[in-house]
A and B are shown apart, each in its own frame.
Chain A
């Protein structure tokens, strides 16, 4: 026993690997897929898994922006993503109005809108030093009001056939375009966070803002960039959501607001920021989606479904970064 304590911990300790959030998430996904297949045969069929991945991609794209803002630390959080997703869905629907020719304009318009919202959030958080929770909460209220105005003035638009195809139909190697898009986003995020100066700065700012500032890093610009990216990712998700559902309806985006944060936490990025990454978040988004899907498959009331969902979320959170116990 004592000799074991003295040996330096092996780099490939089994316990460490088992406790890695990514491993936990993937193991849970596999377990849930088996459970789903057992409860309702056909749950884990190829077609179903593909459908699950499409839904997970929508959540995962929102969570990418959320992930960046949270990584940046200082209580970073973006509650306005729910509003941006809804807003992008309705803007895209109107700009393309069911025509393929309008897709490019719609994408440009939505990205600009998302970036603008993120820019305002970022300026409020950095230059005016409003806490992110407050700033983005207020922004959410503004966006919800804006949606009411837009909805009264113009009809809710329709997705272009090309967009719907991109989201729901096989595109390459049997996978729909949105899944390829998500993979590309995943690779870009891994590259951004792991291989670029910006990624280095994000972690530095997230773990110790004061030190990063002293080291001459552009703290404020970087943080504003994070919020802008968060708005843009939410806008991309909004466009894809329009393609998934065909037309936009009231407040479609709200369902992504808090779950996007949970996906990040399940992916191993603590809300305190500074550590974690996007690969885990992708697994977190898939995990959340599979869990929700199982609950819709089994035959219980909406009330029971919500209770089981809430309790399971709590149970899963016990696996992830619990706070440290206080010590004298």
Chain B
């Protein structure tokens, strides 16, 4: 009897440990569910189909930027220019669509240009951090200043509107289903495919131990560069969503998103040191940031207190996530 009990104890700990190892985003998922329930209690409509679609529509950009950030964090790097890339792509596609007439063809061409701009920015970051071996935090801060300057060059003042065809589609419905849900499905498939590629695994092994990865024959520099390139592409996708949501160009629109994308990655259980994490977690992290914001609003916090309460809640969530994740994985 007693031996059974003693034996059962570590077994249970192991199950939890295995679960968190396999799904590092579990603590985040619990926080997400709790937040959804709380949101539902204070404002039942917020967890309805329409309410949740609205939440996704608003935070899809942050989710994508958090995904972008995740790929560089996998390899133990960081991208403080992610928000600046969003701004640059935003003004680039608006300007391109505007110049090409604003029709369907122009929108598609604009999106293509946007992806190229995002990719180019990512490659610049990759060269600076991986090839030239500058320290990621300061180097990507420097590139963020450069990208912001470029965005200001393309569009000195905010306000140029997006073509109607573009934001109508983003905010509209196809076959009675909101467009963003299609986007989410495509995104999910894309992430599944990416998770199955060699690149994700290679990024993680570089982040886990760069020296070991190098010694086992991995092209470490190229892998880190590819991580930054992927980050640039997803930042471009985030810019598409922001543009669909705000329907206008703003050379500074993404600046504030950078630090939130880092917070979302950490909330999702991904280690900033690299080598451990999931993109699913980052998506959940972005939703947590969104839900904390709406919950603070729904409980009737006076408007001037909202930022403070939100800030404290995010700090506590960050700490709780790290503590729970560590306790479970020990």
Q: Which residues of chain A have a CB within 8 Å of any CB of chain B?
A: 75, 77, 79, 124, 128-131, 133-135, 137-146, 148-149, 151-153, 258, 261-262, 265, 270-271, 301-311, 313-314, 317-318, 321-326, 328
Contact = CB atoms under 8 A, between A and B. Distances in A.
B311 A138 contact: yes
Contacts of A314: 128, 134, 139, 142-143, 146
B311 A306 contact: no
Contacts of B323: 128
- Residue from A310, A325, A328 whose CB has the most chain B CB atoms within 10 Å: A310
A141 B149 contact: no
Contacts of A306: 145-146, 148-149, 152
Contacts of A317: 134-135, 138-139, 142
A258 B141 contact: yes
Given A133-B272, A303-B153, A326-B210, A313 B142 contact: yes
A292 B116 CA distance: 31
B259 A134 contact: no
Contacts of A137: 259, 262-263, 318
A137 B256 CA distance: 13
Task: Please list the 8 inter-chain residue pairs (A to B) with the smallest Cβ-Cβ separation, ordered nearest first.
Answer: A306-B149, A310-B146, A145-B308, A138-B315, A145-B307, A310-B145, A307-B149, A303-B152
Contacts of A305: 149
B152 A138 contact: no
B187 interface: no
Given A138-B311, A261-B137, A317-B138, A130 B319 contact: yes
B309 interface: yes
A208 to B, nearest CB: 17
B117 interface: no
Nearest to A153: B304
Interface string B305-320: 1111111101100110
B190 interface: no
B133 interface: yes
A307 B153 CA distance: 9
Contacts of B156: 301-303
A133 B266 CA distance: 10
Contacts, number: 159
A130 B322 contact: yes
B159 to A, nearest CB: 16
A314 B266 CA distance: 27
Given A144-B311, A323-B134, A326-B211, 7 more contacts: A134-B272, A141-B311, A141-B314, A152-B304, A262-B142, A304-B153, A322-B133
Given A128-B323, A306-B146, A326-B211, A144 B135 contact: no
B273 interface: yes
A142 B326 contact: no
Contacts of B6: none
A324 B221 CA distance: 12
A271 B152 CA distance: 30
Contacts of A134: 263, 266, 272, 318, 322
B315 A323 contact: no
Given A141-B314, A323-B135, A148 B308 contact: yes
Interface string B272-304: 110000000000000000000000000000001
B215 interface: yes
Nearest to A132: B272
A152 B152 CA distance: 32
Chain B CB count within 10 A is highest, among A129, A142, A146, A325, for A142
Nearest to B220: A326
Given A262-B138, A271-B135, A326-B214, A148 B307 contact: yes
A258 B314 contact: no
A318 B132 contact: yes
18 contacts: A77-B137, A131-B272, A141-B310, A144-B311, A145-B306, A145-B307, A149-B304, A261-B137, A271-B137, A304-B149, A307-B145, A310-B143, A311-B142, A313-B145, A317-B142, A321-B135, A322-B134, A323-B134
A306 B147 CA distance: 8
Given A138-B263, A143-B311, A261-B138, A322 B152 contact: no
B80 interface: yes
Given A134-B318, A137-B262, A322-B134, A146 B214 contact: no
Contacts of A321: 135
B35 interface: no
B150 interface: yes
Contact of B273 (A128, A131, A151, A328): A131
A138 B134 contact: no
A303 B149 contact: yes
Contacts of B243: none
A183 B142 CA distance: 28
Contacts of B305: 145, 149
A77 B128 CA distance: 21
A326 B133 CA distance: 10
A153 B215 CA distance: 59
A121 B253 CA distance: 29
